Structures are given as C-alpha cells and as structure tokens.
Amino acid sequence: MIAIISDIHGNWAALRRVLEEIDHLGIEKIINLGDTAPLLGNHDFYLVRGLPCHRSRSATACLEHQRRATSASNLAWLAGLPTNLVVDGINCVHGGWSDYLEEYFRPRIGYFDFCDHTVFASGHTHVPIIWVDGPKMYCNPGSVGQPRDGDARASFAVYDGLSLRWAQF
C-alpha cells in the first residue's frame, strides 16, 4: 500500500498524527505531492525563488519567515525537486497537468486520455477527492496541514494497487 499526502505547510502536529496512522495501517511507502517533497509545490517554488505568493499576504509573510529560518542547503534541496513524477505507476503533480504548480485541477471525463497511465494524483486545492473515469483513477488527498474542505482534520489517500481511498484524522 502507498500513502499519498500533500500540503503540509509546516503543520508538524498534523503531519505527526498522519504519519502515526500511516504506520498503524502498515504502509511502507509515502508519496508527498508538494508544499514539501518529493514534488516541488507552488509554496516550495516561491520559497526557493524568493517570490511572494500573489494570492495571499499572510502566505507571503510566512514565506519570508521560512526563508530566514531555512538553511541554504535545504533551500537547494527543495530547488532540485521535480515538478512531475511517476511513482509505482501513479502519475503525480502538485497542481495539475496543464500547470504543475498553480493549476487548481478538477477532474473531468476524458481529461486523462493524454497518456497511458491509469492512476493520477495531485494536491494544491487542499480538498480531498477520489474520481474514476473508466479505467482512469484520480485522487487529491486533501491537505495534511491546511484543510479547506470545511473539515479541520488532516487527510491523506491510500492506494492499494487496485483502488484509492482517503482518510481524515
């Protein structure tokens, strides 16, 4: 089984709880869809490039603090992360496939016809969803650190090789 997480945004308490649940489930592999690794998320991109978040003054203030608190070697590590990745057959991006970093992706019939993969995952919206279109499956695991679906609990997805499901804690 594989856990799929996204959008931690520095919320250590929520991440610790999610990791405890992942351990409890016996999951040995975790894919992180960005805004911490292994994919470069939009906030990671802003951080390493010294850019503001054009949508949020509070996010920009947080980024300024993070730039001061993050070592040069950690910034270099973030800067080297890919923007898209295929892990165990799961086609992963942070935003969407038209714009890996900034797209607020919503699945639609026929969208994934562009490639032969059958499982897709992205984050960025902070809203969990699992969607199926014939043999194609998509999930957004929601957010570990800043849920935006009206439920304050952290969420993640689980892929067992055949199906996707999500959990909130």
Would the pTM of this model clear 0.85, i.e. be above it? yes
Give the pLDDT confidence score for residue 36 in this predicted structure: 81
Mean of all residue pLDDT scores within the chain = 92
* Tokens matching residue 58: 């509070």
The three state secondary structure string of 98-130 is: CCCCCCCCCCCCCHHHHCCCCEEECCCCCCCEE
pLDDT digits (tens, 9 = 90+) for 74-103: 999 989 999 999 999 999 999 999 999 899
- Checking if the pLDDT of 37 tops 70, the result is no
Dist CA 2 CA 16 (whole Å): 17
* Tokens matching residue 41: 């998320």
Q: How many percent of the chain have pLDDT more than 90?
A: 67
The class level of CATH for 2-41+82-168 reads alpha beta
Give the pLDDT confidence score for residue 23 in this predicted structure: 97
List the domain boundaries for the chain: 2-41+82-168, 42-80
Give the pLDDT confidence score for residue 67 in this predicted structure: 86
pLDDT digits (tens, 9 = 90+) for 108-147: 999 999 889 999 999 999 999 999 999 999 999 999 998 8
